[in-house]
Chain A
Amino acid sequence: MSVLLDRLTSVYPPLALLLSALLMLSLGGCTDAKIDSSISGKAPAGVIYCSESNPSYFNPQLDTSSTTADVSAHQIYSRLLEFDPNTGRIQPGLASSWLVSDDGLTYTFQLRRNVKFHNTNYFTPTRNFNADDVIFSFQRWLDDAHPYHDVNNATYPYFSSLNLSKTIASIDRINGYRIEIKLFERDSSFLANLATDFAVILSQQYGEYLLVNQQPENIDFYPIGTGPFRFDEYRKNQFIRLLPHLEYWKDVDLADQLIYDITPSSSIRFAKLRTGECDSIAYPSQAEITIMQADPNIVVQEAPGLNVGFWAFNTAKAPFDRADVRRGLALAIDKNSILDAVYFNSASRARSLIPPSSWAYNTDIKEINYNPMRARELLDKAGIPKGFRMTIWAMPVVRAYNPDAERMAQLIKSYLAAVDIDATIVTYDWNTFRDKLSQGEHDSVLIGWSADNGDPDNFYRPLLSCDAIPSGTNRAMWCNPEFDALVNSAIKISDEDKRAILYAKANNMIAQEMPLLPIAHANRYQVKNAALQGLTINPYGSIRFEGVIKTLPEVQRP
């Protein structure tokens, strides 16, 4: 055989090349290991998280989408304050301590010393974190004249939905490690807002550096923060690679690398979790939870969620600008069957915006019940003809509060058909979908909200206040001065019982006016490989990977 090979290869030299290439291919690694002694060592370690979509920015200030927050909020950045994931209490973050004046208008923060910013191949910081960085990060969204205010066409949706820029009177530097924030009026949810995913601290020095280099837009795409991981590489539709920040200010274990494997299909994420290609996945599908629970290698974590899935009517559009029409449509829907078919009983029926676990929840809320006869009566009275056409917009992504908007839309469509309303289901890709929603092109939309903090205000103002319309979180486009006055006065009171009374009033107002029909509060699920340690459900915002490691040394998995 070998003689033949030799003869052949001496006659046709290209054949030799081809043969050796084939040999290499077929024998693969084993021969190479012998040839080249440098080929040795062990497989690299790290954590792979299969995320659902591409982040729009690497800065949660600019975007309320959890895809953006999951990558950046707790990995790349830190905040002045943090929520304790178990109790929801506010804990020190970059601010080591704080003081609130007696009138509740002045907040003084003492900042942590020796906090280092990321050192990456695109920026090397020369100074530690100090008051200038806090002022820079806040002024970016507060001050219209700030050089970074309009960079990347930022709208700062979270802050503008809460109207925070009109709440804060001034931010002053007292010394390098102490700042003072003055408010116009008392706001009992102010500290909670500073601990949300969105109130991140950027590097002022990096901002100046980019201005000098005339690349200010890079600040949201090549991020520099003080968080546990630094940005390394991002390939759209493929992956994001983060590396540990070795000088992170907290003493915690960090994975050798943290990779977001962008996998839009939920069933493929699940498959990858099973094959071990992902250590944890985003938004497990409700239908697959039972299968995952049966798999010994997969751990399913469950916690009641601070969220609400709802059906919002575009109250800026006729005839949905009339409460009787909205009530009529809401009466035609059987929430219980939706809970069964869409949430697979992993959710509780929503009676109001806020979930039962909140202290502001009131049990005596007047709830609307499924009654198609009455629905048609109301619609007749409102002059909605039989065969009236409307659109239901179903969001294209899976969220905890709505695991399958398309299926929910189908159900609602069939319920509406029973009262002679002809509904069409509309969907777009996620970014287009949200753009068009903000422009108010929808008749009604199936969407929802995950709270960023435990404060009930986090539901009412972002979802239904007038200020939340331009910032794109008020999908009902509902602006009711009475309601605004109610929730605005609620945040000026620090006594929880008194606040709860005002929120009960607000709930009744929503039930009466029906700008949106709350459908369900979904439980939150997180699934992970059993070898992954330290990953917990964060009810107050996006996923956290600090302290998450894989226990077993990476076994070469086939």
Chain B
Amino acid sequence: MITTLIRYFNLTFLTLLILVMLSFGLAYFFPGDPLTNLLGTDILPSQPILMLTSQQTNIFMQFWYYVQALLAGEWGVSFATGKPLYQDIMRLLPATLELSVYAVTVALLFGIPLGFLAGMNYHKKIDNIFMSSSMIMYSFPVFWLALLLILLISLQAQWLPMSGRLSLLFNVPHYSGFILVDILVSDIENKRFAFNNALQHLILPTLSVAFIAFAVFLRTTRRAVADVYQAQYIKSAQTRGLPATTIFFRHVLRNALLPVLPILAVQISTLVTNVMIVETIFSWPGIGDWLIQAIYERDYPAIRTGMLLVSVVVVIITMSLECISQLIDPTRDRFAYARR
């Protein structure tokens, strides 16, 4: 177990180091003065460590201070707003995380039970229906789905709003950045309306992101369940005359769930990409919308920092999920067998 942890820690550390190096390199690859690209302005007295970076002549020392500045939260300022990037990003990142978390939750909540249903009815009618419909869902381009939802539900039926996280009429003070939490914590007088309003704004973006992830989870779970039911130990349990519910809860459930976790890890990067697209379409004030805006405006410090941060989040989540799934399912570790 310790070796697994150490191995994953090393892997994560190296990946992050390469990412940081890449982001540092970006400042040099972008057109214009590298130091301005790094700082966002010529001089930046409020961020002393980043300033130190720009004063170094040796590129290794520059990188050394750059890493320190990153850790200290001195990420430079945006060309476009002249405001510190750290503040901007810390305000936006929760919005993106919020959307991702809800989407994954919805996808898991529906994908896994339905996957079990399909797996238990392997190659029967219900399974075929699920498989073909999930195939269609899986093939949906996310931007098209989002636009379709806006067209049908927002514009035609006028049931749900089409942009933002909350009607701008509500002035909810920033606390955690998670809008539902912020509303509950705040002391505005119309909390209930604000909460409902925020939920209404959440539905369409969450559905758009959850749609594809749902199809993936359904298919993975169904495959796993079907495989487990083919296994010898289930056959023997059945011959022993154990009731179907006992077999299901004692043998099938856990073993079938094991392959889902690594799939979740693989899905993270797809999910983040989809979240960024959906954010742009629904004007969701998250990091994706912001990053795409930054690309339009050629705001190099913002692009550099935004990309670094998004990739760091993806790497850390993916690596932790991989690591956890390895820990709870040692059979996945092929090398372990080879060594013994």
What CA separation (Å) do A22 and B195 show in the bound complex?
A: 15
Chain A residues within 8 Å of B160, by CB: 558
What CA separation (Å) do A268 and B147 show in the bound complex?
A: 11
Inter-subunit contact B155/A271 (CB<8 Å): yes
Contact with A along B292-325 (1 / 0, CB 8 A): 0100110000000000000000000000000000
**Interface of A, helix, strand, loop or mixed by DSSP:** loop
Residue in chain B with minimal CB distance to A24: B180
The size bracket of the interface on A is 35 or more
Given A44-B170, A44-B190, residue A236 in contact with residue B195 (CB < 8 A):
no
Verify if A317 is at the interface (C-beta below 8 Å from B): no
Inter-subunit contact B162/A271 (CB<8 Å): yes
Chain B residues within 8 Å of A33, by CB: 192
Q: Which of B196-204, B233-241, B268-276 contacts its partner?
A: B196-204
Chain A residues within 8 Å of B170, by CB: 43-44
Inter-subunit contact A41/B154 (CB<8 Å): no
Residue in chain B with minimal CB distance to A28: B199
Inter-subunit contact A39/B155 (CB<8 Å): no
Verify if B59 is at the interface (C-beta below 8 Å from A): no
Closest 6 pairs between A and B when the two form their complex, measured CB to CB: A39-B191, A41-B190, A39-B192, A29-B196, A43-B193, A41-B189
Q: Which of B109, B161, B190, B296 is close to A43, meaning CB atoms less than 8 Å apart?
A: B190
Verify if B169 is at the interface (C-beta below 8 Å from A): yes
What CA separation (Å) do A304 and B312 show in the bound complex?
A: 55
Inter-subunit contact B155/A29 (CB<8 Å): no
Verify if B81 is at the interface (C-beta below 8 Å from A): yes
Inter-subunit contact A241/B199 (CB<8 Å): no
Inter-subunit contact A43/B169 (CB<8 Å): yes
Inter-subunit contact B191/A38 (CB<8 Å): yes
Verify if B80 is at the interface (C-beta below 8 Å from A): yes
Verify if A429 is at the interface (C-beta below 8 Å from B): yes
What CA separation (Å) do A268 and B197 show in the bound complex?
A: 20
Verify if A277 is at the interface (C-beta below 8 Å from B): yes
Contact with A along B126-166 (1 / 0, CB 8 A): 00000000000000000000000010001100111111100
Given A22-B105, A48-B169, A239-B168, residue A275 in contact with residue B158 (CB < 8 A):
yes
Sampled A-B contacts (8; CB under 8 Å): A32-B195, A41-B191, A44-B193, A241-B168, A259-B169, A271-B162, A429-B297, A556-B196
Min CB–CB distance A24 → chain B (angstroms): 8
Inter-subunit contact B190/A48 (CB<8 Å): no
Given A48-B169, A259-B168, A275-B161, residue A29 in contact with residue B285 (CB < 8 A):
no
What CA separation (Å) do A85 and B155 show in the bound complex?
A: 34
Inter-subunit contact A41/B163 (CB<8 Å): no
Verify if A369 is at the interface (C-beta below 8 Å from B): no
Residue in chain B with minimal CB distance to A44: B169
Task: Mark out the residues of chain B between 186 and 220 whose CB falls within 8 Å of any chain A CB in the assembled complex.
Answer: 187, 189-193, 195-197, 199-200
Verify if B283 is at the interface (C-beta below 8 Å from A): yes
Min CB–CB distance B103 → chain A (angstroms): 12
Residue in chain A with minimal CB distance to B168: A259
Verify if B167 is at the interface (C-beta below 8 Å from A): yes
Chain A residues within 8 Å of B293, by CB: 237
A-to-B contact residues, CB < 8 Å: 22, 25, 28-29, 32-33, 36, 38-46, 48, 235-239, 241, 257, 259, 261, 263, 268, 271-272, 274-277, 429, 554, 556-558
Given A239-B168, A429-B297, residue A263 in contact with residue B190 (CB < 8 A):
no
Min CB–CB distance B167 → chain A (angstroms): 7
Inter-subunit contact B192/A40 (CB<8 Å): yes
What CA separation (Å) do A393 and B81 show in the bound complex?
A: 27
Q: Which of B158, B168, B200, B290 is close to A261, meaning CB atoms less than 8 Å apart?
A: B168
What CA separation (Å) do A241 and B167 show in the bound complex?
A: 12
Verify if B184 is at the interface (C-beta below 8 Å from A): yes
Min CB–CB distance B248 → chain A (angstroms): 14
Residue in chain A with minimal CB distance to B199: A28
Inter-subunit contact B191/A257 (CB<8 Å): no
What CA separation (Å) do A275 and B201 show in the bound complex?
A: 12
Chain B residues within 8 Å of A238, by CB: 285
Q: Which of A29, A241, A558 is close to B192, meaning CB atoms less than 8 Å apart?
A: A29
Inter-subunit contact A275/B169 (CB<8 Å): no
Min CB–CB distance A31 → chain B (angstroms): 10
Chain A residues within 8 Å of B285, by CB: 235, 238
Chain B residues within 8 Å of A263, by CB: 163, 283
Inter-subunit contact B171/A277 (CB<8 Å): no
Chain A residues within 8 Å of B9, by CB: none
Verify if B28 is at the interface (C-beta below 8 Å from A): no
Chain A residues within 8 Å of B297, by CB: 429
Task: Mark out the residues of chain B between 32 and 85 whose CB falls within 8 Å of any chain A CB in the assembled complex.
Answer: 80-81
What CA separation (Å) do A48 and B191 show in the bound complex?
A: 20
Verify if B122 is at the interface (C-beta below 8 Å from A): no
Q: Which of B80, B155, B187, B196 is close to A28, meaning CB atoms less than 8 Å apart?
A: B196
11 further interface pairs, Cβ-Cβ under 8 Å (given A268-B163, A277-B163, A558-B200):
A22-B105, A33-B192, A40-B190, A41-B189, A43-B170, A261-B168, A271-B162, A272-B163, A275-B155, A277-B161, A556-B196
